[in-house]
Amino acid sequence: MKLTKQQMYIGLGIAGIALLYFMSKGKKYTNEIGIRNAGGNGAFKYFGVKTADRQKALAGLQVGTEGLINGTTKCTITKINTSSGVGFKCAEIQDGSYDIPNPSKFQY
């Protein structure tokens, strides 16, 4: 079966529209903070926010904020701890599993 030029253009148009639709469905994160493994009593239970980004984190993060750790691991914030610096927990990560390379980033 041979396609006409018109059929090919229609097919390319439909493919382009589909591509734009699926690209627009992905979340776009415009904010980023530096994070690390928490220390002390929060070790392996929280991610700690780097000192330089604490004010930005306090202003922009809240329970329910969704983002990505290092661009790959999904994180929905379930708890924010400010007792010693700023730290947060993710719904997708179990206690004892909070171990990331240094430096790391959280995009939200």
Give me the DSSP letters along 52-99.
Answer: GGHHHHHHH--TT-EEEETTTEEEEEEEEE-SSS-EEEETTS-TT---
Under DSSP, the state recorded for 41 is G
pLDDT reported for residue 4: 84
pLDDT cut 90: percent of the chain above it: 70
Q: What number of other Cβ atoms are within 10 A of residue 42's Cβ?
A: 19
- The model scores a pTM over 0.85: no
- Indicate whether 28 pLDDT > 90: no
- Indicate whether 26 pLDDT > 60: yes
The mean pLDDT value of the chain amounts to 88
Greater model confidence, 42 or 63? 63
